[in-house]
Amino acid sequence: MNSPRKIFHLVSYLQYPLLLAGVWYYIPFLKSLLNHEPDYFFLNNVLIFFGVAISFSSLQDPRKTQNKLSRKIWQSPRKGKLAIIYIAALAFSFIIGGLTAMYLTSSQESQGISVGITVLGIGLIGLLKTAIEMFENHRRDKNPETTKS
């Protein structure tokens, strides 16, 4: 039997079809923008699919980095802290903005967009948790053996 960590890591690959679904809805939204008649149904779906995809990406194994750029960020104490602050600010901004818009707006389109923005923010909270774990696992000043990888 596989370990739960490995199973979650494998499930995290569902982020890619979800991102593709988001892009699938983004194309008609762009077309509607170019026609000067934006269809916010598509934008709402883009936000929701991206938010759920980001949530699935947070299931990956935080002991491993995806690429060299990611490794450079998480090994550096300064860059890692800045990345975490940025992700946290973005997540809470989306959640607060989405919930505020949901409360203050009355149109169906605005309500839908605010739900999508809130879902995206919730997805970023999961990413924030994974970012913190990656930072703890890869920092050079706390884990000198990470410089070898």
What the block records as the tokens of 78 is: 């300064």
Residue 73: predicted pLDDT: 84
Per-residue pLDDT of 94-123, as tens digits, reads: 999 999 999 998 888 888 899 999 999 999
d(CA 71, CA 132): 13
What the block records as the tokens of 125 is: 């909270």
d(CA 23, CA 20): 5
**Reported pTM:** 0.83
What the block records as the tokens of 47 is: 């936000």
Q: Which residues, in sequence order, are CB contacts of 128 under 8 Å at separation 6+?
A: 84, 87, 88, 91
What the block records as the tokens of 131 is: 């970012």
* Residue 103: burial class (beta carbons within 10 Å; 0-12, 13-18, 19+): exposed
Q: Tell the residue number behind the tokens 């699935």, with chain if given.
A: 56
How many CB atoms within 10 Å of residue 66?
10
Per-residue pLDDT of 8-21, as tens digits, reads: 888 888 999 999 99
What the block records as the tokens of 92 is: 């809470």
Residue 115: predicted pLDDT: 93
